[in-house]
Amino acid sequence: MQELITHISQRGNTLCLGLDLDPERIPAAFQGHENPLAALACAIVDATHDVVAAYKPNTAFFEQEGSRGWAGLEALCRHIDNRAFLIVDAKRGDIGNTSARYARALFQGLGAHAITLAPYMGRDSVEPFLPKTRERNGAGLAPGMGAYVLALTSNAGAQDFQMLDIGGKPLYWRVLESLDAWNKDWADHRLGAVVGATRPTDLEAIRRAFPALPLLIPGVGAQGGDLESVRRALDLGHGPALVNVSRDILYGPDAVAEPEAVRARALAYAARMECA
């Protein structure tokens, strides 16, 4: 994930801005646009691209509007281009043949640098997303793509499966061990893990055990994750890590996603995430 490392270095911080915009909370100034959600998202990118290292649009917030929403997502991804690292948060995962089509839609169609995946179906559902050559699976995908795989998430329901004891280790730890092995075996260190900020003790243990593993850490802000605890954990490893903040930056106390207000909140967070 060299491109990610470059963006982190250029910004001097590890901030990822989650573009989870609510269509029902679009400022009046954008209501007259043909695609208000996309127009607002692009304006936020214009206001913050020099501040944040990465953007993470969640496809659900666009897909809910059908074809207009998907067109808006395409426009947003083109607008971001290479100005920041682009993670398309789609949480895909299916049998190999289907995964290859998802990969084409997200990487080739949207231009994502990385995506999020669900690992429940195992290696053969993950591998098609990261082909080693353009010819593999006929997907036409470059070998530099990356993926963040769900491991230990921030939500309460993580207890249902992720914490299950599997031979003396929780299931999420088995996922992390697999990612580490796959990175060395076939993924060329392009796989990272999603680990929630709401579990700081577990995050520290993960960072110690897998210091090189790239991490995407959601849950800071509205979900209750503590940024200082996350920063302490990140100091224990050297793999590239992103701390995702969505609602706290998008809406803040005024509950309105005005681009300049979003920029001010992003600057405040970025200052707290400055790299040593």
Pairing type for strands 165-166 and 169-170 reads antiparallel
Choosing from 56, 91, 169, 184, which is the catalytic residue?
Answer: 91
Residue 91 is a catalytic residue: yes
For residues 220 and 214, the answer to whether their CB atoms sit within 8 Å is no
CA–CA distances in Å: residue 92 to residues 60, 70, 115, 117, 253:
12, 16, 8, 5, 33
Distance CA(125)–CA(83), nearest Å, equals: 30
CA–CA distances in Å: residue 148 to residues 85, 118, 179, 218:
13, 9, 10, 12
Distance CA(99)–CA(205), nearest Å, equals: 31
Beta bridge partners of 85: 54
Distance CA(211)–CA(221), nearest Å, equals: 25
Q: Tell me the two tokens of residue 254.
A: 């005024």
Q: Catalytic positions, please?
A: 91
